[in-house]
Amino acid sequence: MTLPEIVDSHCHLDFPDFEGELPRIIDAARAAGVRRMVTICTRLKNEPRVRAIAEAHDGVFYAAGTHPMSAAEEPMATLDGLIALAAHPKFVGIGETGLDYHYTADSAEVQKTSLRIHIRAAQESGLPLIIHSRAADDDMAQILTEGFREKPYACVMHCFSSSAELARATLDLGFYLSMSGIATFPKSQELRDIFAAAPLDRILLETDSPYLAPVPYRGKRNEPAYTAFTAKTGAQLFGLTEAEFAAATTANFDRLFRKARVSEAA
């Protein structure tokens, strides 16, 4: 039986957790139907290493930005620098960027500055913005909306686990919500309700691996192959077969990450 294609739209293949195992990790993903994945660079100084992973593996694309939790520790990203990275054929998104006030509220103003630079890069490059948001819903909604009103851009709320209000605000802008393993956790019913209320054509799948492994691997190292378990939960939420849900979320990925589809076809 041919497995339905699933896309892991957000993972971190350069992290030490996968060192020395990448060929096996990628083969396992393909065996589970996860034939494409986007590996995310969270510190721009590591971009060459993340780029090399994408260049070495078919079906692996990449994005880069400054993670909000490290915004105060890293040199400020520049618009020109991000636009230059976007020229690479396998560079498909800007970020992850965003706001995180859970652990790093003291750097809120630096995070906001960094976020606005990444928004401009998404606007100028035409590539989707990849957003990390935690404990910052009001500021996040305000900054994303202000930027969109100045000049529209595409965006995904990665590993969405915020409020229903932020979900509505971003969906109203035409943005996407990405479902991670958190949606499979027994105590995540409120989050599942948010996803179930969203339009099916705005849902993506991801692992955020090596973090947030879905049930039945919760508490263990996550990897792209496990996207299939999150897809199973998503299918149940929308009353679809797993194949139908996989097809829908893959079509959504192709619509948002157009460059990945074009690059693969080339």
DSSP states of the chain: -PPPPEEEEEE-TTSGGGTTTHHHHHHHHHHTTEEEEEEEESSGGGHHHHHHHHHHSTTEEEEE---GGGTTTSPPP-HHHHHHHTTSTTEEEEEEEEEEHHHHGGGHHHHHHHHHHHHHHHHHH-PPEEEEEES-HHHHHHHHHHHHHHS---EEETT--S-HHHHHHHHHTT-EEEE-GGGGSTT-HHHHHHHHHS-GGGEEE---TTS-PPTTSTTS---GGGHHHHHHHHHHHHT--HHHHHHHHHHHHHHHSHHHHHHHH-
**What would the pLDDT profile of 223-232 be if each residue is shown by its tens digit?**
999 999 999 9
Three-state secondary structure string covering 130-188: EEEEECCHHHHHHHHHHHHHHCCCCEEECCCCCCHHHHHHHHHCCCEEEECHHHHCCCC
Handedness of CA 110, 133, 264, 20 (dihedral sign): positive
Residue 266 — pLDDT band, cuts 50, 70, 90? Answer: low
118 assigned ligand-binding residue: no
Task: Name every residue whose Cβ is closer than 8 Å to that of residue 135 and which is 6 or more positions away in sequence.
Answer: 100, 101, 102, 105
Between 263 and 68, residue with greater pLDDT? 68
Under CATH, domain 6-265 is a member of which superfamily?
Answer: Metal-dependent hydrolases (3.20.20.140)
> Average pLDDT of 178-187?
98
With a cut of 80, say whether residue 3 has pLDDT above it: no
Average per-residue pLDDT for the chain: 96
Q: Is 96 annotated as a binding residue?
A: yes
200 burial class (0-12, 13-18, 19+ CB within 10 angstroms)? middle
Task: Give the contacts of 194 (CB within 8 A, at least 6 positions apart).
Answer: 160, 164, 167, 177
pTM above 0.85, yes or no: yes
- Please write the tens of the pLDDT for every residue from 85-106: 999 999 999 999 999 999 999 9
pLDDT in tens, 115-142: 999 999 999 999 999 999 999 999 999 9
Number of neighbours of residue 20 by Cβ within 10 angstroms: 7
pLDDT at residue 17, rounded to an integer:
96
Query: Does 208 belong to an annotated binding site?
Result: yes
Residue 265 has a pLDDT of 59
pLDDT band, residue 32 (cuts 50/70/90): very high
pLDDT digits (tens, 9 = 90+) for 209-218: 999 999 999 9
Residue 67 annotated as lining a ligand binding site: no
pLDDT digits (tens, 9 = 90+) for 53-84: 999 999 999 999 999 999 999 999 999 999 99
Whether 204 shows a pLDDT value over 80: the answer reads yes
pLDDT at 2: 66
Which tokens sit at 206?
């991801």
Res. 263 pLDDT band, cuts 50 70 90: low
Confidence tier at 158 by pLDDT (50, 70, 90): very high
